[in-house]
């Protein structure tokens, strides 16, 4: 049994915690968004890869959903004596990850190889694949101008209206080694509950990925990140509205209908099932809010069954 998951950050990491209770971690591949990667004081930071890696390694700070539990900020505090550029909150241990990753990249390794090295050392059994080894930084167009993803998300706290999302240069990016194979060879493909534009949209924009998924539509399921019109966390609901899509599970389904055959929606959205079926998708109604381990496991089981038809 091989399962491939398309993944952003926190929502995906929590979903993967459930999945590894149902299938052995070695059978799971996560294709992870790298559109929100950034260079911070010369260090290569991959926020979504690290959120997933720390979560699966049992190191995550559960309060924030990012960073390492119990981490300290001595380095960042001292850095603030030299620089005003300390808005991206990286703890001391988190910085160690980024220092090691940057060293591996500078010695000529790809992000794929560096990710294998880091996740092996942290004892992560799931195969984590960056969507691409080429940098493809997401840009957010707002009424005040164009922002990098992390300026929008962290520095300005997602307060700007999002008018457009761009992936400049992505037409020249290639899927990282293993990505197309993980789609072609999977017994089940699951789109995690992640932001449809800036987490999943970036992965879909890598040339060849969307087409590869379309060819596996019958084996692909998605979990809605929108419940009762709202995101569980983050700006996905506001982004849907400002980008002209209905802020609902139905709205997300319209974005995925060409490559997803079964859509998992929350019990609170059962009334949307018929409209989603009219898009040519099957619908599974389930409890999709992941609080504790048993809810994560239950959602993973539902999504896996949905993807396997
Ligand atoms: P980010 O990059 O850290 O913001 O994380 P993701 O892109 O992976 O996930 C953000 C999306 O996941 C948001 O739209 C949330 O609504 C959704 N999400 C988070 N937790 C849950 C959950 O327990 N259930 C469901 N259905 N969606 C969730």
Residue 225 CB–ligand 1 contact under 6 Å: yes
CA of 194 to the centre of ligand 1 (A): 5
Q: What is the pLDDT of residue 12?
A: 98
Residue position matching structure tokens 């929008």: 152
Which segments of the chain are extended strands (E)?
A: 3-7, 28-32, 38-40, 43-45, 127-130, 139-142, 145-148, 164-166, 188-191, 220-223, 226-227, 230-231, 262-266, 282-286
CA end-to-end distance (rounded Å), the chain: 14
For ligand 1, atom 11: residue with the closest CA? 194
Query: Are residues 167 and 216 in contact, defined by beta-carbon separation less than 8 angstroms?
Result: no
CA of 290 to the centre of ligand 1 (A): 10
Q: What is the pLDDT of residue 309?
A: 83
Query: Are residues 13 and 296 in contact, defined by beta-carbon separation less than 8 angstroms?
Result: no
Instruction: Give one word for 263, left, alpha or beta, with left for phi > 0 and alpha for psi -120 to 50.
Output: beta
In 3-state terms, the chain is what percent helix, strand and coil (to 5)? Answer: 40, 20, 40
Residue 265 CB–ligand 1 contact under 6 Å: no
Q: Which parts of the chain have pLDDT scores under 50?
A: none
CA of 224 to the centre of ligand 1 (A): 9
Diameter of the chain by CA atoms?
Answer: 58
CA atoms of 307 and 309, how far apart (whole Å): 5
DSSP state of 23: S
Q: What is the pLDDT of residue 289?
A: 98
- Of 185, 259, 250, 249, nearest to 218 by C-alpha is 259
CA of 73 to the centre of ligand 1 (A): 26
Q: What is the pLDDT of residues 53-66, one digit of tens each?
A: 999 999 999 999 99
Which pTM value belongs to this model?
0.97
- Of 80, 126, 87, 119, nearest to 100 by C-alpha is 119
CA atoms of 144 and 121, how far apart (whole Å): 42
Residue to mutate, 233, 263, 264, 303, ligand 1, most ligand atoms under 8 Å from C-beta: 233
Residue to mutate, 11, 249, 292, ligand 1, most ligand atoms under 8 Å from C-beta: 11
Segment (H or E) for 304: helix 293-307
| Six token digits for residue 135 | 């940098």
Cα 236 from chain centroid (whole Å): 12
Collapsing DSSP to helix, strand or coil, 167 comes out as coil
Q: What is the pLDDT of residue 258?
A: 98
| Six token digits for residue 90 | 């990286």
CA of 104 to the centre of ligand 1 (A): 30
- Of 40, 59, 43, nearest to 51 by C-alpha is 59
């Amino acid at each position: 049994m091989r399962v491939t998951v398309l993944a952003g950050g926190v929502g995906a990491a929590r979903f993967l915690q459930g999945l590894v209770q149902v299938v052995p971690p070695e059978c799971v591949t996560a294709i992870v968004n790298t559109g929100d990667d950034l260079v911070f004081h010369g260090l290569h930071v991959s926020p979504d890869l690290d959120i997933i890696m720390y979560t699966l390694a049992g190191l995550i700070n559960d309060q924030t959903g990012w960073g390492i539990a119990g981490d300290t900020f001595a380095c960042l505090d001292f850095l603030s004596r030299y620089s005003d550029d300390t808005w991206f909150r990286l703890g001391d241990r988190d910085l160690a990850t980024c220092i090691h990753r940057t060293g591996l990249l500078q010695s000529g390794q790809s992000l794929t190889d560096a990710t294998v090295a880091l996740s092996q050392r942290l004892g992560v059994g799931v195969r984590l694949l960056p969507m691409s080894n080429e940098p493809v930084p997401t840009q957010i167009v707002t009424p005040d101008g164009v922002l990098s993803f992390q300026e929008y998300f962290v520095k300005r706290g997602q307060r700007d209206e999002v008018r457009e999302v761009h992936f400049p240069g992505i037409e020249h990016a290639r899927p990282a080694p293993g990505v197309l194979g993980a789609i072609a060879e999977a017994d089940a493909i699951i789109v995690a509950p992640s932001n449809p534009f800036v987490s999943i949209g970036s992965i879909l924009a890598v040339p060849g990925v969307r087409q590869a998924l379309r060819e596996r539509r019958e084996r692909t399921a998605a979990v809605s990140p929108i419940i009762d019109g709202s995101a569980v966390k983050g700006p996905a609901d506001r982004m849907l509205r400002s980008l002209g899509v209905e802020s609902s599970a139905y709205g997300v389904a319209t974005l995925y209908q060409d490559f997803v055959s079964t859509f998992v929606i929350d019990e609170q959205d059962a009334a949307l099932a018929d409209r989603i079926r009219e898009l040519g998708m099957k619908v599974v109604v389930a409890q999709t809010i992941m609080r504790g381990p048993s809810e994560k496991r239950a959602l993973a089981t539902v999504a896996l069954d949905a993807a396997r038809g």
